[in-house]
Amino acid sequence: MAQKIGFIAPGVMGEPMAQRLRGAGYEVVAWARRAERAAELEAAGLRTGTLEEVAACPVIVSCLRDTAAVEELFLRNEAFSEHLAAELVIEHATIAPRVSRQVHAHLAERGIHYLDAAVSGGPAGAAEGSLVTMVGGSGEAMALARPYLEPTCGRIVHIGGPGSGVALKLVNQHLVVAHSVAAAEAAALIRDAGIEPEGALEALMGGWAGSRRLELQLVDSVRGEYGPDGADLDLFREILRLVGGAFEDAGIESALLPGVEETWDRAAAKHPRGRLASLASAYEAAPED
């Protein structure tokens, strides 16, 4: 019989991850908070179940939205706790490291292994199985989890103890947002100069200026193609808050983050569901009356 995996909150990132686990031969039972979302998952071929059924699975993979959702489910939800029988819990959400350590300690009291395994690579990486995961937790838990990480993650790096995976993910996210805003400003200059974005990208990617965010968003930014792709501006507001908290906790005054936040606010006011390419809209002149 195939190993049963309970999958919590398969959203934009989680649904393709759950599908890849199912494709790898695991029996996946998914839980969604809303009945409409559960129906969508069923239509996509995933079996859904109650939260109690998922809690009883021997392995749980979770992709919750934010810190508050992780706290509520793992630290305060009595029904979930009562039915929790897993040997291993893998949480892919990007959350506050402090809460990750709290969940680890709470589950360790019950003999349950917990890993914070934040991922990077976006919805496309989830669908391709090419995500990078930064894992925090014990070596024993890491060994148990590897077979459940390999179908979704092309690069698996054990960073250290509890909370270290999400701590490094916040460093990752700081670089992502900074590079995204830099690419948006580059797009604004290229558009103003009347330069074709494809040629500009080819040249810029050949030297020190090249970056993954430049590659992914420059042409769309110059062309004004801002439609949603699953990684929308509003979703990053919580990330910006967490990154700011990391700097504050470290006693480091970031020179970059305030400007990034200002750009994000201007662009998100225009395109809250826009892809990261829509950051370039922060540099567009307001239409004349």
Q: Which domains does the chain have, with CATH numbers?
A: 4-160 (3.40.50.720), 167-283 (1.10.1040.10)
Indicate which residues carry an active-site annotation: 169
Q: What's the rounded mean pLDDT across residues 40-46?
A: 96
Sorted by sequence, the CB contacts under 8 Å of residue 255 that are 6+ apart come out as none
Buried b vs exposed e over 34-49: b needs ≥16 C-beta within 10 Å? eeebbeebeeeebebb
Q: Which helix (H) or strand (E) holds 136?
A: strand 131-136
The answer to whether 166 and 136 have CB atoms below 8 angstroms apart is yes
Q: Note the pLDDT of residue 56.
A: 96
DSSP state of 48: E
- Tell me 283's DSSP state: G
Residue 2 — pLDDT band, cuts 50, 70, 90?
Answer: low
Phi, psi of 132 (to 5 degrees): -100, 130
The pLDDT tens digits for 155-198 are: 999 999 999 999 999 999 999 999 999 999 999 999 999 999 99
pLDDT in tens, 116-137: 999 999 899 999 999 999 999 9
pTM: 0.91
